[in-house]
């Protein structure tokens, strides 16, 4: 019998699509009986989803301008086109 503590330790593996199916079935048996862990799995999945869905924001214009200026100087110094 898997305890909540043991299950949480293996949560990453449970969420990983590449985990060995035998291991997964073993963990699944806990989630199907434990509401707490079921909720944790669900909200952890959602947490990862919102982070993965986040597009990187634009870099502030002045920061970008200074980056290009620095690169330009570098390229000129090194003699590339």
Partner 1 sequence: MTPTSHSAVASDPNDEGTLVAQAQAGDGTAFAELVQRYQRKIYRLAKHITQNDEDAEDVLQDSFMKAYEHLKGFHGQSKFYTWIVRIAVNESLMKLRKRKGDRFVSLDEPIDTGEEEVKREIAVWEGNPEQQYSQEELQGILNEAVETLKPDFRTVFTLRDIEELSTEETAEALGISIPAVKSRLLRARLELREKLTRKFKRKGDNAFGYV
Query: Which residues bind to partner 1, rule: CB under 8 A?
Result: 4-5, 8-9, 11-12, 35-36, 38-40, 42-44, 46-48, 50-59, 63-64, 66-67, 70-71, 74-75, 78, 80-81
To partner 1, the closest distance from the beta carbon of 47 in angstroms equals 5
All residues at 6 or more sequence positions from 67 whose CB lies less than 8 Å from its CB, including other chains: 59
Residue 67 contact among Zn ion, partner 1, none, beta carbon within 5 to 8 Å by kind: partner 1
| Three-state DSSP state, 62 | helix
Which residue has tokens 């869905």? 53
Phi and psi angles of residue 64, each rounded to the nearest 5 degrees, phi first: -65, -45
- Site residues (CB under 5 A) for Zn ion, limited to 2-21: 4
């Amino acid at each position: 019998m898997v305890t909540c503590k043991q299950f949480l330790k293996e949560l990453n593996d449970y969420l990983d699509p590449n985990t060995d199916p035998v291991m997964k079935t073993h963990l699944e048996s806990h989630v199907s009986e434990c509401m707490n862990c079921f909720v944790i799995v669900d909200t952890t999945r959602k947490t990862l989803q919102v982070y993965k869905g986040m597009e990187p924001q634009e870099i502030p214009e002045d920061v970008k301008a200074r980056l290009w200026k620095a690169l330009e100087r570098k390229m000129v110094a090194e003699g590339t086109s």
